[in-house]
Structure 1
Amino acid sequence: MKLSKTEIEAIQHEMTLYEDPGAATIEALKIVQEHRGWVSDESLEAAAAVVGVTPTQMEAVATFYNLIFRQPVGRHVIMICDSISCYLTGYEEILAYLKKTLGIEFGQTTPDNRFTLLPICCLGNCDNGPAMRINTDYHGRLTPDKVDAILAEYP
């Protein structure tokens, strides 16, 4: 699988920002994911070739960061915070409600490809627990009614 000209140019630009071009590995993964929605094995290998690192090195970075998706995800990725702060403020109720409402478990995507549900160990939103992130948007002080209204914002 080849990367698009746009992807290659964006990666090459990021490489110019570092003394060691290999330091642009995470940025290369983010660029691929931005264009494709996730990072397949083939696109990971192609990005590694552009950056000048081995696929194994690129994979090590990809699997370290929990915001790099190594399998297809829905149009909207819901990450629900399971930190102690969110746990103490209602995480279990919100998680159960999300699973029931969406009809999926962690790591699954709704049949209409609308949502993927993932855990995340901390969103840094402790004063607003329970909290979740959908794509790049943060939502806190969740209740089941609030979750319904939030989900409706993501077609």
Structure 2
Amino acid sequence: MGDTDVTGVAPVPAEHLVTDVAEDLSVFDADIVEKAGQIIARYPQSRSALLPMLHLVQSVEGRVSQAGIQFCARQLSLTPAEVSAVATFYTMYKRKTCGEHLVSVCTNTLCAVLGGDDIYRTLGEHLGEDGKRLGHNETAGEPGAPGSITLEHAECLAACDLGPVIQVNYEYFDNQTPESAVALVDALRKGERPAPTRGAPLRDFRTAELELAGFWPEDEESYRSTVDGPSAAVETLRGAALAEANSWTAPPMPNAPLPAEEPRAGSSMSGGEKK
């Protein structure tokens, strides 16, 4: 039996799904090719470099485009299908061009009941136009242009003790309200860079992606100014502080003996020694 003509039996025209068109990879210039080589050199197997490579691609175009997928595939000797499978699995890889800033609102259970849902709805209405609320992964302004904002609702951002939380380009803004969130995005749209509650100083989305790919300023002073910032919050350390003040300690883990290893069938080993 021959192969099925999938485009012929499709209920809608599907020729666009079958293409041999090569994408224009010129946007990935010699500097990006060199950086790709540096990423690949970190790993014993080149395919292990795919995740940071996708961040590198995203730092160039603000998304993972079809050209970006082909670029990664060629650099890593993978098929475009293998790269696409990864790029579409993780939510950090965007298929539409992001704004200058990516604003992520946690709407998982605890943040939601503390006000995350209200924050997300308020920002959508505030950033929308012509009475239409801005939706998930949609952008206010020209994507990539100064002051443009991409809004998304995110699953747990791992800051339940400080909810509701927002991230801007993956930096934390804790204990938010609808009013403080609106003030935050308004400042971003005006070109300001409000200081995160915790973490490194705020940078734009594409710079953050380059850092996620593993590239930082080379001189120590510039590097420290890029990464230094507040760390653990008072709320996060409250339990440890109470335990120390009250001399509370956890019981030690039982040191259970490991079971003796059974010799494998056909093994020449017995009792841990060679025959």
Q: Distance in 2 between matches of 1:89 and 1:44?
A: 39
Give yes or no for the alignment of 1:6 onto 2:45. Answer: no
Say which of 63, 88, 94 aligns to 2:88. Answer: 63
Structure of higher RCO (CA pairs closer than 8 Å, 6+ residues apart): 1
Query: Are 1:108 and 2:142 an aligned pair?
Result: no
SS at match of 2:140: coil
User: How do 1:113-132 and structure 2 match up within 5 A?
Assistant: 113=143, 114-132=148-166
Q: Which residue of 2 aligns with 1:144?
A: 178
Query: What is the 5 A alignment of 1:34-113?
Result: 34-103=59-128, 104-113=134-143
Residue aligned with 1:109, SS: strand
CA-to-aligned-CA distance 1:49-99 (integer Å, 9 cap, x gap)? 011111111111111211111111211111111111111211121112111
TM-score (norm 2): 0.54
Moved over 4 A (4+): none
Distance 1:141 1:149 in 2: 14
CA displacement at 1:139 relative to structure 2: 1.0
* Rg larger for: 2
Aligned length: 155
Mapped partners of 2:56, 2:162: distance in 1 = 30
With structure 1 as the length reference, what TM-score do the two structures score? 0.93
How far did 1:28 drift? 0.8
Unmatched 5+ stretches in structure 1: none
Inter-partner Cα distance in structure 2 for 1:33 and 1:112 = 17
Contact 2:107 2:155 in 1 (8 A): yes
Question: Where is the helix percentage greater, Structure 1 or Structure 2?
Answer: 1
SS of equivalent to 2:183: helix
Partner residue of 1:135 out of 154, 161, 169: 169
CA distance in structure 2 between the partners assigned to 1:109 and 1:132 by the alignment: 16
Q: CA offset at residue 112 of structure 1?
A: 4.3
Percent of aligned pairs sharing the same letter: 27
